[in-house]
Structure 1
């Protein structure tokens, strides 16, 4: 007993003598023990079986090899089926309306259109990692069926074809579509479906509102699915998923789903990269990203591999890829389109359950007319989703025949804007004024930016700390996800200390980013929601005081980050602010960047120096890339937003093609 007391005394003396080392050791032990505790808690909350990482990697390699062989075989089989005249006719069409008109006049067939775009996918987008699951042969078969039924369809529709009849489109890889894998960039979800071990029954029950009835721990066998012993009420398909409500409506419009498009893991980043389909390359500079999280959709339209793609948006996930790839993208008011049936962050929910920030689905194309035709077919037709507002497209609001009054955001106090934004702002003021429109400055104050911070805090702070780890289900993930898991498992005291440290050195935006991932209790959640609602009212009052029709504002501070530039995540998002306010928004590419657009000057004596330096480094080298701004209108004024997009499209007349 005396010996033990003496050992303890010597240990205490050692700690007192080596205080710095002791503190470091204590912190290491504390962090590791907290990490082990969090892992134990995560294990208790597991809902689905885990795989070994080697098994997931093996299944992924097998699937990718099979996918590559199918694409190459299709390319070789149909190499001479189309001539250069067909290719030029399809690719040089101004819009989808022109293609539909040629189909109606028998100048083009659906089969030839699909063959042209399928060859583009094989030649460009496939190698640049824009595509997820692909089924070119099935798309071609659908096109042949549509050619056979064309006369019958026209007779039943007053001599006209539906707006997307025979047009191949791409869908983001979390918006479920029949006969396609839906992975969200996760190896585990790919393995589930490739093996025929789908959780479709539980996913279907959640989709239909029966959350308690779903047996999440049960794994369905391939035999149960194929024999319809369990899923007798669900029509069978290749991978066990039926069309989400969005895809169902698109198919009713005549569209042919040709492939799914790449997305970051959990659709949770503006750089599209994952361990299944890889890094999605920007067609203008291959070492830069197409954007995210709808990066694959942006890339595949930019390479003219499809004329239209569907993306989703939470913090700017349609607008960033659209802007960075030189496309026109549209975010409708959230409740005017359905999210029902699409996969969410957690496999047991569809993405329509997110409430802290409303997710949005929308189209991305090469001109505004294509977006307008798409929305005309969508609005008011989501009959199976009763949460959607049944508002049809308002032709009168879209065809408004008067000059518009635009607000425009000129400055940002805390970070500042690069020269490409400042130059575009001045150019737009001059062009709009010359065209007879009015332009006034819109002061996007820090009070309004507080709404963006609150939304991020509500979204991140209310997440289950074990969510990412449990949804990976054994996968060895990319660095950004691993760092996210590590951050979630850190003790809150250390995160608060880091937040205080960054504030002390003047990096208040990074400090806010750390604060936004701190856990939010129910009392704070309610307080933040109330504060956000008060700020919303102030924002709309300010908007009305300016009497503006639409607001022009930047898409992002940086532009098309390189693969290693993941640290830009530590700043705020214009997309999060507009989605918090539920504003319909559209992206307008305006021109290619020049040398004068690469500048970003700032004062080193002011705050946020680290972030500003990173943005300055990012903007170096953007010359030759398309640059863009976005335009927004008030909630449910989607038609006015599309009209404003049309105005801006006409004054810039910029429709780039990357290849």
Structure 2
């Protein structure tokens, strides 16, 4: 194998050559932090392309189905805007515009000849995280060592989306190994946050988050093992959904920790509207993906569940707010978002109670979510160090040990902390403990029937997606993802929705609270409202296992209540 640096140089050149030269723009200087308006002012997009890329998924699908806009025109508009976004925040990996336009032309021809759409996503451009294999393309998942390995077939979800009429057109950046809540690797560099480029876009689906925030894609697919859909969605002001295990086909996707099937990754949508989340999930599950992936649950879209048949049909819902997880207290903007949401729901006639978290610290330990900074002996790091070393040893590629600007961008990292691993028996004990806590959590949720006043347990939990908004690069402390990964451990679906943005006047530093421990104190001390200026503030809505339809509908209800209260 060539040395990793030679592989990277060659790959970067090929990526550059995949960008149409007439779409090259002059980006603003690094001192310009907020670049969200640049795509529409740089002069590359015409008025119609700006209109197309500002249109919601629902309206796009309607106009495409009526042939008011052609799939070629829509794909061209989003491709151009995606290339602009890439030049601003380094969000793309694979760029295959010619292939996408050829597919779009086929769809236009089919509609013209038959008068019928190919499927429910007819003509919609969809971006994909650099995990979803596409025949003939490389899937590096952030490793230089995987350059040159071409897929011989599509991931199952890619085939499903194509059958639904979608047009895959770009893939997006991730961190090396996928196992970071930020997005940096030696191949494609660092993805930044378009609202404030001194902040991270999150990870591991950080490229998707940044691209969609700049409206370079109407709908993207991310993956989530511990928060990798929800953290970038939250940091970039998007809507995103982590489904339960087996609801969306994962087969054929390239990932990290493959073969570990106790805590498994899931694929899900990221978009600028909750309607886009629904469109994706309804199309995918109605395509009968269980006939293509043996691990998919045999469950079509359930309209009764979407209409909240098990939740009083949406009348007088009772939401529980989890103000903190008993481990780390959220920063002031997160607290304000929770207060805004509570007030909006009460104004809309719903009931709000407090959620009492149980065993969230234990769930974090079981998953070992602080995977690179501790010696915790949990599921995710049972053999992760060995996998990372095996993958990179072929080319001499070093493992990245930090996302800090000074280290990661200027020096070659040579060491990542390792654990001793687990014996098979020890791993079984961890998995058994997780099973037991899942039972306890179910009982805990059921017991809330005594305080809701609806005759039902709490309908959904609303909580932070992280204790902070998008952080400066390298400052997502200790890879802290416990606000998201607990729901992976419990297999609860969770949707992210935007509420507000950081306001230095409203979100001043809070006085010190009674710290849970030194780590909680460290998180408190990192907050400075000026550093987080303009960052989106989002929350999570959590439902019960395989209750995606209800989670989507309740997210729509919460989203509408928050919008009405503004």
Return the TM-score normalized by structure 1: 0.74
Unmatched 5+ residue regions in structure 1?
1-49, 199-238, 489-516, 655-659
Tell me by how many angstroms 1:169 deviates.
Answer: 1.1
- Please show how residues 506-517 of structure 1 align to structure 2 within 5 Å: 517=419
Give the alignment's Cα RMSD to 1 decimal.
2.6
The alignment status of 1:583 with 2:492, answered yes or no, reads yes
Tell me by how many angstroms 1:416 deviates.
Answer: 1.7
Tell me by how many angstroms 1:634 deviates.
Answer: 0.5
2:383 to 463, 466, 469: 463
Secondary structure of the corresponding residue to residue 397 of structure 2: coil
Partner of 1:487 in structure 2? 417
In 1, are the aligned partners of 2:121 and 2:165 still within 8 Å (CA)? yes
Q: Measure, in 1, the Cα distance between the counterparts of 2:508 and 2:146.
A: 41
Residues 608-655 of structure 1: per-residue CA shift (max 9 Å, x gap): 33553345324532232210100010101111100111011112239x
Partner of 2:18 in structure 1? 70
Q: Measure, in 1, the Cα distance between the counterparts of 2:510 and 2:387.
A: 38
Secondary structure of the corresponding residue to residue 402 of structure 2: helix
The alignment status of 1:369 with 2:312, answered yes or no, reads no
Secondary structure of the corresponding residue to residue 79 of structure 2: helix
Secondary structure of the corresponding residue to residue 447 of structure 2: helix
In 2, are the aligned partners of 1:104 and 1:161 still within 8 Å (CA)? no
Task: Flag the 1:101–1:608 CA change in 2: closer, same or farther, 3 A.
Answer: same
Task: Flag the 1:167–1:478 CA change in 2: closer, same or farther, 3 A.
Answer: same
Tell me by how many angstroms 1:266 deviates.
Answer: 1.2
Q: Measure, in 2, the Cα distance between the counterparts of 1:526 and 1:480.
A: 31
Tell me by how many angstroms 1:545 deviates.
Answer: 1.3
Partner of 1:623 in structure 2? 533
Task: Flag the 1:138–1:470 CA change in 2: closer, same or farther, 3 A.
Answer: same
1:645 to 542, 550, 555: 555
Return the TM-score normalized by structure 2: 0.85
Secondary structure of the corresponding residue to residue 443 of structure 1: coil
Partner of 1:57 in structure 2? 5
Partner of 1:418 in structure 2? 331
Partner of 1:503 in structure 2? none
Tell me by how many angstroms 1:164 deviates.
Answer: 1.6
Unmatched 5+ residue regions in structure 2?
26-42, 369-376, 404-411, 449-456
1:633 to 524, 528, 543: 543
Task: Flag the 1:265–1:601 CA change in 2: closer, same or farther, 3 A.
Answer: farther
The alignment status of 1:531 with 2:414, answered yes or no, reads no
Partner of 2:424 in structure 1? 522
Secondary structure of the corresponding residue to residue 631 of structure 1: strand
Partner of 1:250 in structure 2? 161
Q: Measure, in 2, the Cα distance between the counterparts of 1:178 and 1:575.
A: 32
Q: Measure, in 2, the Cα distance between the counterparts of 1:618 and 1:72.
A: 42
Tell me by how many angstroms 1:557 deviates.
Answer: 1.4
Tell me by how many angstroms 1:152 deviates.
Answer: 4.2
In 1, are the aligned partners of 2:202 and 2:470 still within 8 Å (CA)? yes
Q: Measure, in 2, the Cα distance between the counterparts of 1:146 and 1:465.
A: 45
The alignment status of 1:330 with 2:271, answered yes or no, reads no
Tell me by how many angstroms 1:278 deviates.
Answer: 0.5
Residues 63-120 of structure 1: per-residue CA shift (max 9 Å, x gap): 212321331436379xxx9973422431232x22211222233321111111111111
Q: Measure, in 2, the Cα distance between the counterparts of 1:63 and 1:600.
A: 47
Partner of 1:397 in structure 2? 305
Task: Flag the 1:465–1:128 CA change in 2: closer, same or farther, 3 A.
Answer: closer
Q: Measure, in 1, the Cα distance between the counterparts of 2:264 and 2:414.
A: 22
Q: Measure, in 2, the Cα distance between the counterparts of 1:587 and 1:470.
A: 35
Secondary structure of the corresponding residue to residue 432 of structure 1: helix
Tell me by how many angstroms 1:390 deviates.
Answer: 1.2
Partner of 1:84 in structure 2? 46
Tell me by how many angstroms 1:145 deviates.
Answer: 1.8
The alignment status of 1:544 with 2:441, answered yes or no, reads no
In 2, are the aligned partners of 1:90 and 1:113 still within 8 Å (CA)? yes
In 2, are the aligned partners of 1:323 and 1:589 still within 8 Å (CA)? yes
Tell me by how many angstroms 1:558 deviates.
Answer: 2.6
Higher helix share: 1
Secondary structure of the corresponding residue to residue 552 of structure 1: strand
Tell me by how many angstroms 1:484 deviates.
Answer: 8.9
Residues 479-509 of structure 1: per-residue CA shift (max 9 Å, x gap): 4398794422xxxxxxxxxxxxxxxxxxxxx
Task: Flag the 1:483–1:525 CA change in 2: closer, same or farther, 3 A.
Answer: farther
In 2, are the aligned partners of 1:171 and 1:309 still within 8 Å (CA)? yes
Residues 271-299 of structure 1: per-residue CA shift (max 9 Å, x gap): 10000010001000111111000000111
Secondary structure of the corresponding residue to residue 287 of structure 1: strand
In 2, are the aligned partners of 1:597 and 1:623 still within 8 Å (CA)? no
Tell me by how many angstroms 1:533 deviates.
Answer: 1.6
Partner of 1:208 in structure 2? none
- Please show how residues 30-179 of structure 1 align to structure 2 within 5 Å: 51-52=2-3, 56-73=4-21, 75=23, 84-93=46-55, 95-152=56-113, 154-155=115-116, 160=117, 162-179=119-136
Secondary structure of the corresponding residue to residue 310 of structure 1: strand
Partner of 2:400 in structure 1? 478
Tell me by how many angstroms 1:532 deviates.
Answer: 1.9
